[in-house]
Structures are given as structure tokens and as C-alpha cells.
Structure 1
């Protein structure tokens, strides 16, 4: 579709009266898939590191913020550690299956932003559908670097990919945090209680910056920080789907 046609379509959609949107159904289905698959994927990754700082929480987060061989040894253990091979294998398997998780969470968040745009007709919400897609691309690049880093560590070498790792990691988490801010801001338009939860989701995004700056102390906060906006969007999707089915009304109606 030519650019002019896209602009006309956007303007036509904005002029339409409020109506239920099927995008909520997709958002709800993908949100449930994210929860189920995410819970399963968490069990695939190694549950404990060799000697990681408690502030990292999960070993996979420690790996994402690894800056040198000492960090890798703290995660996987030294060569004489009998658990090293198992940790390396679990981390690789988890990162391989993480690609499907990227597609699921990007689809969930993008569909959610699209549904919010159909409800509120704010252009910023339509533009925000690109944020989770960009985050997933950063995540995929990050995984590619992690495979190289892990392979080099297994061979007893240092991977130059370590120097590039901080950039996609920071970009991914910042993009996801920004997506949550957009979701929270949109939720404030639906009423008093939604405004409360939207504000909480916005505030929950703040620790992302702290975690990126000082991961050894605050990386564990990245999971609950992201969960705030994701759970809010799932609740919006459930409410939007219910209103569409039971009353034939949009959530903003």
C-alpha cells in the first residue's frame, strides 16, 4: 500500500465511531501463550549459577550482563566444576527456544498496542506497535552474540562479541519499558481503576534504568518491571474481549 494510502486508512480509522475490535481476542490469546510458554521456558534455563551476585536473580540475566571471563565463570563455573557442562547445555537450550518466546511477546505487545489504538485512535499507539518488534530484533541479535560467547567460553577462549553485548541488551529492555509506559498511559484513559493500574505500570518501568546501570544489584527487578505492563495489557485484553462478546461495546465505550 502506498504511503498516501496508509495515511488515508489511518485517518479513516480515526474517523470511525468507537466499536469493538477483534484485536483484543488476538492480544488475549497471545498473552496467555506468553504466560504459559514463559513459565515453561524459565524451567529450561539453569536455575542456579556457580557464584553469581544475588542481585542478578536468574543466571540468564547474569549472562545478559556478563562483561568478562570472570562473569562467565561465576555463571557456569570453572572447568573443574561438575555442573559446568549441565549449566552450559541448559543455557544454550533455553536461548534456542527463546526465539519462539520473542515472537510471542512481540506479537502480544504489538497486538495490544494496535487494539489500544483502535479503542483510543491516538497515533502514538499505532506507532508504538513497532516498539516490541524492535525489542524482539534486539533480543535475537543478543542471542546470536550469546551463542558465540558461550561457544568461545566452552573452548576456553574469549569472544569479541562480549564487547557488543551491552548494546542490544540495553536497547531491548529500554524498548520493552517504553512499551509498558505507552500501555500504562493508554490505560489511564479508560476510567479510574484502569488509571490507577496504568500509573503503577508506568512507575514499574523505572527500575529498568537502575538495572541497566547497576545490573549486579538490580537486574532481578527487570522481570517484575516488565510484568507490570504485560499483566495490565492482559487484563485490558480480557476486559476488552468480554465487553465485545457480552455487550458488543468497545472498552472505551
Structure 2
């Protein structure tokens, strides 16, 4: 099986440049991810009871919650009339988040495949595993959040809070790594794409800062992820236009590749000067 897969990868690597439909799938998933993401931000609670300003959105504070005091800062005390509203909005948002996981995973996987079809680097095909891993960690995280919220509603502490940091960190690191791959690939398409790719790579740096000190830098996770995603969306729009309207790939490597040597060609003989040896 692996031999056949290796042969297929080699065949794809040697194929001539051609437009790929993967850009169209990437564009469709990207638009759906963008629109549903904007909708989802309105579903989650807009304000917390007393969260640190560095968290930004209350949902990020919930993802990095580590104690009952953190939960009370997000949802408020039982005497707070807004607590029930915040709890209901958070649960609804996390329920709809499962669809968002499928959308952004499809967007990033399609993008990695499209970039691989254009550049033919195996690392891009391997990078398609990263968004799948991010979505799986996101699903695990959501399951823990449901457990934590249910226990908090009853006034109890949930042991799931001790496991929460692992899927949260893994999810954001996988997304950041995917964005770095996207940015690095974009640098191969030309000067302006190289500039955008470099910015996307730099935008991934705050992810580590946010994981280490979320109370101060968790807000940076949103623009950090958006840098690579918007770049991929722009690449998908351009690649789709090239494929549909101009019937060309985003980058035509056939014009830059050296012509193969003709089999059986006779190499020119080199003259030898000086006395011939006996």
C-alpha cells in the first residue's frame, strides 16, 4: 500500500503544471469558515463578569480557565442576573463550534493540498495532517468544556479542568504550525506573495506567548490565526481565478524548468591539444 502511495506521490511530482480544482474547494471552505466564524462570534457571550482584559473574548478566557475563580470571573456569581445568560450563550456557541471545526479543517486541508499540487513539496502534503489534529484537539477541548460548565452550574468543581490545557495548547500550536507552512509556501509564488507569507509567519509567533501567559496575550490568538487564514483565502481566490478563467496554474513551473536531455544525443567531442600518448 505504501509503495503505491509513494509511486502516486512521485507521479504527481513529475506531472506538468496544470490548474488544480483544490483551489476551488479551498475558496469555498474559506468563505464558509469566514461567514460562520463571524456568526459564531455573535453567539458566544460578548462580555464576562470580571475577566482580565488580556483574554479579549470570554470564550478564550473559558478555554484557559484553571480554577473556580476563573469561571466566576467569566460567568459571574450565582447572584449575578447575567450568569444564566452567559452560561446559555457559551453552551450554544460550543455546540455550534463543532461545525466550525469541520469548516476550518476542510479549509486548511484543502489549502495544503492545493499548495502541494502547485509546488509539489511533500512537506505541504504532510502538513495537511496539522489542521485535522487541530480539529480533533478542538473537539476534545469542547467535551471538557461541557463537563466543566455542567459542574460549575451545579456549584461543583470538575476534574476535567486539569486536562483542559493540553488540547487547548495542542490546538493553537497546530493551527500556528499550519500558518507557518502556508506562509513559507507563499514565499515561493513571487515578491508580493513572499511579503504576505513572511507576515503570516511572523503573526504565528504570539501563539506561544498566549499559551504561556493567556491572561495577557490570549487576545492575540485571533489575529495570529487570521494572518495565515486570510493569506490562504487570497491564494485560493487567485488560484481559482487562474484555474477557471485562464486555465492556468497559480505558478507555471514548466517555463522555468530546464529541458530534459534528449535520449541518445551525442555529446560534442572535446579537442585534445598536445602530444598524443602512445
Mapped partners of 2:89, 2:240: distance in 1: 38
Structure 1 ranges of 4+ moved more than 6 A: none
How far off its partner does 1:214 sit?
0.5
How far off its partner does 1:248 sit?
1.1
Aligned to 2:86: 87
The superposition leaves residues 149-183 of structure 1 with CA deviations (integer Å, 9 ceiling, x where unpaired) of: 00000000000000000000000000000000000
Aligned to 1:123: 122
Mapped partners of 2:167, 2:73: distance in 1: 22
Aligned to 1:237: 236
Aligned to 2:67: 68
CA-atom RMSD in angstroms: 0.4
Unaligned runs of 5+ in 2: 253-278
SS of corresponding position for 1:73: helix
How far off its partner does 1:136 sit?
0.2
The number of residues matched between the two structures is: 252
Mapped partners of 2:2, 2:155: distance in 1: 52
Indicate the structure with greater helix content.
1
Aligned to 2:222: 223
Q: Determine whether 1:157 maps to 2:156.
A: yes
How far off its partner does 1:117 sit?
0.1
- What does 1:173-192 correspond to in 2, within 5 Å? 173-192=172-191
Q: Determine whether 1:102 maps to 2:101.
A: yes
The superposition leaves residues 196-248 of structure 1 with CA deviations (integer Å, 9 ceiling, x where unpaired) of: 00000000000000000000000000000000000000000000001111211
Aligned to 2:146: 147
Aligned to 2:258: none
- Give the TM-score normalised by the residue count of structure 1: 0.99
How far off its partner does 1:188 sit?
0.1
How far off its partner does 1:28 sit?
0.2
Aligned to 2:135: 136
SS of corresponding position for 1:67: coil
SS of corresponding position for 1:247: coil
- Give the TM-score normalised by the residue count of structure 2: 0.90
Mapped partners of 1:41, 1:246: distance in 2: 33
- What does 1:7-26 correspond to in 2, within 5 Å? 7-26=6-25
- What does 1:43-58 correspond to in 2, within 5 Å? 43-58=42-57
How far off its partner does 1:4 sit?
1.3
Mapped partners of 1:39, 1:248: distance in 2: 33
Mapped partners of 1:190, 1:144: distance in 2: 40
